[in-house]
Amino acid sequence: MEIRFSLFYEHQLPRPWSEGQELRLYQDALDQVEIADRVGFDYVWEVEHHFLEEYSHSSAPEVFLAAASQRTKRIRLGHGIVQLPPAVNHPARIAERIATLDLVSNGRVDLGTGESSSSAELGGFGVRRTEKRDQWQDAIDAITRMFVEEPFAGWSSKYVQMPPRNVLPKTVQKPHPPLWVACSRRETIQFAARNGIGALSFSFVEPEDAGKWVDEYYRIIESDECVPAGFAVNPNVTVVLPMMLHEDEATAIDRGIDGAHFFAFALAHYYGPTPHDPGRTNVWEEFQERRNAKGFSREQIIANAETLRVNVGSLRGAVGTPQQVIDLIRRYESVGVDQIAFVLQSGPNKHEHICESLELFGRAVLPHFTEGRDEREAAKAERLAPAVEAALARRAPARTAPPGYRIDEDAEVARVDRARRPLREDIRAAGRRRFRQGFYRLVHGRTDEQIERRFGPSAQRLFFAGMARAYDPSAAGGFTGELEFRLTRTTWTLVIGESRARARPGPAGDPSLTLIVKTADFLRILAGDANPATLLMDGRLELRGDYEMAPRLSEMFGGPSPY
């Protein structure tokens, strides 16, 4: 097995903040990366996070990594990760930045990608959580095509509209830099494999569990399930661990454990339900108050432990002596992990301790893993070559735009406008919403008598005709038959045919479902002022016949619009 080593940056800055601290943080990080490059680290990864005060002041990794490119010669520069939802980063801007970084670094970029998943970020940019996976898949397809298509043949999806353009500059690495995706659990590791890209696992995982993930990952990579997201396959699994190194174990713990624990605590703060008041919440203070209660007590960390445990709670990672860390790495190596990304800059960890650790790692740990590594990697590539080739054949190829296209600003902007313009369904939904709001005001707080007085025969006719018109056969699951509504003084029937419905007054001949309910309560349900489930339990709504259909009713009629 072969294994690579990297540095991983969140640019953490616990409160209280003082002037010049962010400057120090960034300048120190550049110095650290320079050392890492010199002593033989293979990668430096930097996250892209927005608004995550204290946990990550790393909101523009494209800038930091570009600066790092001129302080280093050999180390690869990894985005870990770029957020792909187009509301955060336009796909063309991502392709442009990656290519430019590849040019200034002479081909040293790795493109890690992700969906963004903290509430601070999704809420901040207005990204729907239910859509972010789709957006990722859409954007990575567009971005990788921008790398290889010349010109990019254009894009028209739910999320991105773009006419044909030659996206410039192009990357140094061909067809494009290696791709990765952020993973946090088994399911996303499989997702990475299905997309034929590297898995950047950000959860602290024990070697034994990592081994299971790795096996599954490579099984999928070599299977038909792998349909590459890009135009090259990057079969690699990286895990992330905290690190602090010293020949004396107690010193290593003293220097590194608060950082490791703060990292995990602040992660849970931003990705869990803990409330956050921007600019005010003091995460470091909360950490100090609650670390013991949350399982991050300093006392549980005992020097001379036989093996290092990495899981959250006892989170220790690679905080220890060179020999302990060598042993830990061996365990990851033996289960087939391809890369370990070490977090040294976290919480209150000190710059000089980080530098010492890096030097010590280069001197006392790294040499144990470098011999024959290139050959083993070459052998791995050779072994996987047929699977990679087969996988790439499954990916939709680069397109060749027909020549003769002409840039046409007015037509192109109009196309984007059309895509942004409300669809017919949106217009209908807006109409329904407005209707329902007005209707709600009409029934809310009224007595049964007041409501029923307004709902005479002609209004009832209008309502049921509206329901019939709003009937959506696709939601009916093939149902045909009669629905009967027995109201206070009248009964209506909706006759459901294969593709349409019609309303008629009077009882049904053979109703599939009968609703017995006071007119006022029926209107309250339609207006959203009463919950049918509650009415059922209170005995104010009675159902007879095919009960199973009842929950489908709302969908079938797309709301009670008379439009």
Chain positions 14 to 43 lying near a second copy, rule: CB under 8 A, are 22-23, 25-27, 30
Residue in 507, 503, 519 with CA at minimum distance from that of residue 562: 503
Of 372-391, binders to a second copy (CB under 8 A) are none
**CB 131 to a second copy: min, Å:** 10
120 binds a second copy (CB under 8 A): yes
Residue type at 174?
K
Q: What's 285-309 look like in SS3?
A: HHHHHHCCCCCCCHHHCCCCCCCCC
Closest CB to a second copy among 94 and 301?
94
Question: Which of these segments, 229-237, 238-246, 396-404, 522-530, binds a second copy (CB under 8 A)?
Answer: 396-404
124 binds a second copy (CB under 8 A): yes
496 binds a second copy (CB under 8 A): no
Closest CB to a second copy among 68 and 257?
68
Contact (CB, 8 A) for 78 and 180: yes
**CB 234 to a second copy: min, Å:** 22
550 binds a second copy (CB under 8 A): no
Q: Which residue bears the tokens 């063309």?
A: 92
Residue 80 structure tokens: 């870990």
**CB 138 to a second copy: min, Å:** 16
**CB 389 to a second copy: min, Å:** 24
* DSSP string over 20-53: THHHHHHHHHHHHHHHHHHHT--EEEE---SS-T
497 binds a second copy (CB under 8 A): no
Tell me the per-residue interface mask from 402 to 421 with a second copy, x by CB under 8 A, - otherwise. -xxxxxxxxxxx-xxx--xx
Question: Which of these segments, 201-209, 226-234, 302-310, 427-435, binds a second copy (CB under 8 A)?
Answer: 427-435
Residue 344 structure tokens: 């040294």
Residue in 320, 311, 316, 306 with CA at minimum distance from that of residue 258: 316
Give how far Cα 259 sits from Cα of 45, 277, 524, Å.
18, 23, 56
556 binds a second copy (CB under 8 A): no
Closest CB to a second copy among 157 and 300?
157
Prior bond to 175 cis, omega within 30? yes
**CB 120 to a second copy: min, Å:** 5
For residue 365, the 8-state DSSP code is: I
Pair type for strands 161-162 and 511-517: unpaired
**CB 59 to a second copy: min, Å:** 4
Contact (CB, 8 A) for 562 and 466: yes
Of 137-176, binders to a second copy (CB under 8 A) are 150-152, 161-170, 172
Of 259-278, binders to a second copy (CB under 8 A) are 275-278
Sign of the torsion angle spanned by Cα atoms 311, 317, 321, 326: positive
Of 296-355, binders to a second copy (CB under 8 A) are none
Tell me the per-residue interface mask from 428 to 467 with a second copy, x by CB under 8 A, - otherwise. --xx------------------------------------
Residue type at 189?
I
Closest CB to a second copy among 100 and 300?
100
Residue 461 structure tokens: 């006719």
Q: What's 516-542 look like in SS3?
A: EECHHHHHHHHHCCCCHHHHHHCCCEE
**CB 63 to a second copy: min, Å:** 4
Pair type for strands 501-505 and 491-496: antiparallel
**CB 469 to a second copy: min, Å:** 16
The residue count of the chain comes to 563
427 binds a second copy (CB under 8 A): yes
Residue 194 structure tokens: 């299905």
Contact (CB, 8 A) for 159 and 141: no
Task: Count residues near a second copy (CB under 8 A).
Answer: 91
Sign of the torsion angle spanned by Cα atoms 120, 121, 125, 131: negative
Question: Which of these segments, 364-372, 425-433, 486-494, 519-527, binds a second copy (CB under 8 A)?
Answer: 425-433
**CB 126 to a second copy: min, Å:** 3
Question: Which of these segments, 181-189, 400-408, 505-513, 552-560, binds a second copy (CB under 8 A)?
Answer: 400-408
Residue in 165, 139, 161 with CA at minimum distance from that of residue 230: 139
Of 48-107, binders to a second copy (CB under 8 A) are 50-53, 57, 59-60, 62-64, 66-71, 87-90, 92-93, 96-97, 99-101, 103-107
**CB 62 to a second copy: min, Å:** 5
Contact (CB, 8 A) for 216 and 210: no
**CB 221 to a second copy: min, Å:** 30
Closest CB to a second copy among 125 and 440?
125
Choice from 279, 445, 509, 539 touching a second copy (CB under 8 A): 279
User: How many angstroms separate the CA atoms of 100 and 62, rounded?
Assistant: 9
Question: Which of these segments, 47-55, 296-304, 489-497, 520-528, binds a second copy (CB under 8 A)?
Answer: 47-55
Closest CB to a second copy among 218 and 265?
265
Burial class (CB in 10 A: 0-12, 13-18, 19+), 328: buried
User: How many angstroms separate the CA atoms of 73 and 66, rounded?
Assistant: 12
**CB 431 to a second copy: min, Å:** 7
**CB 12 to a second copy: min, Å:** 11
Closest CB to a second copy among 59 and 300?
59
